[in-house]
Amino acid sequence: MKSDIEIAREATPIPIGEVAAGLGLSPDDIDTYGKYKAKIRLDVLERWKDRPDGKLVVCTAITPTAAGEGKTTTTVGLSMALGKLGKKAVCTLREPSLGPCFGVKGGAAGGGYAQVVPMEDINLHFTGDTHAITAAHNLCAALLDNHLFHGNELDIYPLAITWPRVIDLSDRALRQITVGQGGEGVERKTRFDLSVASEVMAILCLATDVEDLKARLERVVLGYTRGGEPVRAKDIRASGAMAVLLKDAFMPNLVQTLENTPAIIHGGPPANIAHGCNSVQATRMALKLGDYCVTETGFGADLGAEKFFDIKCRYAGLVPDCVVLVATIRALKMHGGASLSALKDEDLEALSLGIENLEKHLENLQWFGPPVVVAINRFPDDTDREVALLRERVGAMGANVVLSEVWAKGGEGGLELAEEVLCLTQGQPKPPFRFLYDLESLVPDKIETIATRIYGADGVDYTLEAETAIDRLTELGYGSLPICMAKTQASLSDDKAKLGRPRAWRLTVREVRLSAGAGMIVPVCGRMMTMPGLPRHPAAEGIDLVDGEIVGLF
């Protein structure tokens, strides 16, 4: 069996200008980065603003497991399959982070014969967007500490500074640090977050245009004065320089699939510690350029999809036409208690228990309104009886199960799924759509709604620090912002050990952070960290450059 990287290297990509031309873009509409990558210029959206939007298809998944689900692979494969059926489809993905790539998770460019290329570039430095975000974020941090050093004209309280520093690598030693030691500034404690968890990343992904980008950067709250007033990036005159560093990064990136279907990859906030969606610019561009925009949201539907609906759709005015819920029978058996080593064996009992996880996600998605199809990445060991059980349970909830083989067959293996998507969307008006909560509800009420209705918790418990933060943010006028939960991706609960559909548990909110520029309140739940650590044997140990070729990346 060929590896993903072997398959990618055997691909025959076409020059990116040809991909762009297939979308109706001229050479003046793109800035090329080598032969197979380009950025799409922002004036395309303005010029084509009156063109009708294509259909918006959202790909999400069950709670992830070590068995794998294949959400990105399905997103890519579905776009290729729609192309085979004569539709101009564009898939939109998030940019991978170097942290997970060199740590545990690995790459994020699809798999098998449903990949985007150039895969190695996409998973490494790509077009430099994340580096630009890192620089913009840390420039603001440097200007903040410089302001303290040169007299602190704004009377900023050093112990009330909330703006951390960021780096695009997993490094647990940076979770708590002290800066300004040795007389080189005002000594204070702070932290590093992963670059993709930066509020600057969220701002880049949620901004609707350059002016909105600049306005959001100005609103970023860095900390508080001794009198308790917020200190914003505009107060230390940082936002303009930050916008300059993001000028090119704000343009979406155009690449292609193994079958030369266009793919727009832009922005990479993770769904467990941020809002988990690619940029508004990428999605809008795909909706104008194609008949179908097939977009991916991060991790399970409890995280990426909920945030797509309640945060991204609110700010961008989007309404999905249908949702694809991705799962594997292997992963469902893990949720039902089967061990990783026993997943090849038929186990109807474990599958039956594990399907409860899928049922919870399906129930949640149906509540929002758009029609849902369940896509099962078929493995050779999946038995007919297991498939029949799955079809029966999902059918009882009013949805269809479609088997997908895009990993092994590319677009050809996704034709059944593509036909189901066409059936749900073609010739249909926009489906009914509703948000989970009213923005004007109290912050604790919004948090509890997410916890009880989406996660299945019995209620929410707050630390004193979290309660105090909510009260303070409400007093400052931020109480009407949407909620972006930071929670483990490995469980519907805040405990990664609880698989399946946990019952009789309560969500713990440890702290509450403000992302005023992005426009959201971030409750941090359970033991969730915004700076991951590396495992005992990180992926980086096996990565090398041999005779000019990268080895061990996948």
Residue 105 among the catalytic residues: yes
Residue 270 sits in the same domain as residue 349:
yes
Residue 84 sits in the same domain as residue 123:
yes
Q: Which residue has the tokens 């990287």?
A: 5
Enumerate residues 6+ apart whose C-beta is below 8 A from 341.
Answer: none
**What does the alpha-carbon distance between residue 105 and residue 116 come to, in Å, rounded to a whole number?**
17
Per-residue model confidence (pLDDT) at position 55: 97
**What does the alpha-carbon distance between residue 390 and residue 407 come to, in Å, rounded to a whole number?**
20
Q: Which residue has the tokens 């740590």?
A: 103
Look at residue 167 and tell me if it is in a domain: yes
- Of the residues 37, 55, 87, 94, only one is catalytic, namely 94
Residue 232 sits in the same domain as residue 286:
no
Backbone phi and psi for residue 418, each to the nearest 5 degrees, phi listed first: -60, -40
Per-residue model confidence (pLDDT) at position 107: 61
Sign of CA dihedral 396, 303, 267, 214: positive
Look at residue 189 and tell me if it is in a domain: yes
Per-residue model confidence (pLDDT) at position 1: 66
Long-range CB contact pairs, 465-474, < 8 A, 24+: 465/510, 465/511, 466/509, 466/510, 466/511, 466/512, 466/523, 469/511, 469/512, 469/513, 469/514, 470/443, 470/444, 470/512, 472/228, 473/443, 473/512, 473/514, 473/521, 474/442, 474/443
- Token pair of 444, please? 């604790």
Residue 271 among the catalytic residues: yes
Residue 118 sits in the same domain as residue 149:
no
Look at residue 61 and tell me if it is in a domain: yes
Per-residue model confidence (pLDDT) at position 355: 97
**What does the alpha-carbon distance between residue 393 and residue 536 come to, in Å, rounded to a whole number?**
40
- Of the residues 109, 136, 238, 271, only one is catalytic, namely 271
Per-residue model confidence (pLDDT) at position 105: 58
- Of the residues 48, 379, 433, 435, only one is catalytic, namely 379
CATH number reported for the structural domain that contains residue 138 in this entry? 3.30.1510.10
- Give the residue numbers spanning the domain of 474: 443-525
Per-residue model confidence (pLDDT) at position 550: 86
Residue 277 sits in the same domain as residue 368:
yes
CA-based nearest residue to 439, from 517, 363, 520, 522: 520
- Of the residues 39, 71, 312, 333, only one is catalytic, namely 71
Residue 367 among the catalytic residues: no
Across the chain, which has 554 residues, the per-10-residue mean pLDDT values are 77 95 97 97 94 97 92 96 97 91 73 92 94 98 97 97 96 95 92 96 97 98 97 98 98 97 96 94 97 96 98 97 97 95 95 97 97 94 95 94 94 97 92 96 98 98 98 97 97 96 97 97 92 89 88 78
- Of the residues 105, 409, 430, 496, only one is catalytic, namely 105
Look at residue 26 and tell me if it is in a domain: no
Residue 349 sits in the same domain as residue 316:
yes
Per-residue model confidence (pLDDT) at position 330: 95
Enumerate residues 6+ apart whose C-beta is below 8 A from 245.
Answer: 132, 135, 136, 139
Residue 73 among the catalytic residues: yes
- Of the residues 192, 308, 309, 407, only one is catalytic, namely 407
Residue 94 among the catalytic residues: yes
Residue 103 sits in the same domain as residue 139:
no
Per-residue model confidence (pLDDT) at position 99: 83
CA-based nearest residue to 91, from 63, 120, 115, 61: 115
| Cβ–Cβ under 8 Å, residues 278 and 93 | yes
pTM tops 0.85:
yes
CATH number reported for the structural domain that contains residue 500 in this entry? 3.10.410.10
Residue 286 sits in the same domain as residue 363:
yes
Look at residue 28 and tell me if it is in a domain: no
Residue 407 among the catalytic residues: yes
Residue 469 among the catalytic residues: no
CA-based nearest residue to 365, from 327, 406, 410, 320: 320
| Count of structural domains, the chain | 3
Residue 237 sits in the same domain as residue 257:
no
